[in-house]
Amino acid sequence: MANIKKHFLRPLLLLAAFVLWTWAVCVVDLQPIGPRGTRVGFGTLNGWIHSLTGVHLWLYELTDWLGLVPILVCAAFGMLGLVQWVRRRSLGRVDRELLEDCRQFVENTDYIQFGEVANFVDIMSAAQGIPHLDLSRYPSVQRWKEERKA
């Protein structure tokens, strides 16, 4: 019985920490310092860290490439399913758990990207689009680009 309580308590505490952190990010120190004036939780801390680190386009490039990792995972599952389909000569003989994992991955990805955020495309273009932004609104990026050209 003690073992069950131990295994139940840890996930429960992690869930509580997650809920508390999510609430805090949504309500504590909101400031319009994000792309296109979006409000950011813990704005003072985030603004201070941004002033220390500045803008690094290599980091933008890195996160852009890391965004391909889930697509590669999905492609790997797809290739595994295709190999099973060809070897077993029937879609019915493909591992059902593999098919379920693929379906769930696609469903969760769509849910995260499109289901919860009505203006997902606008927010993503604002957040990822350093090359697509109006540089007059971001003078530090504009200065950096001008210095790089010289």
103, pLDDT greater than 70: yes
Same domain, 94 and 149: yes
Q: What is the pTM of this model?
A: 0.40
- 99/29 same-domain check: no
**Amino acid 96: pLDDT:** 75
Q: Are 41 and 25 in contact (CB under 8 A)?
A: yes
Number of separate domains in the chain: 2
Distance CA 58, CA 139 (A): 18
> Which range is least confidently modeled, 4-13, 71-80, 104-113, 115-124?
115-124
One domain, residues 44 and 77: no
Longest dimension (CA), the chain: 70
| pLDDT for residue 23 | 93
- Same structural domain for residues 26 and 62? no
Query: If you average pLDDT over residues 66-80, what whole number do you get?
Result: 81
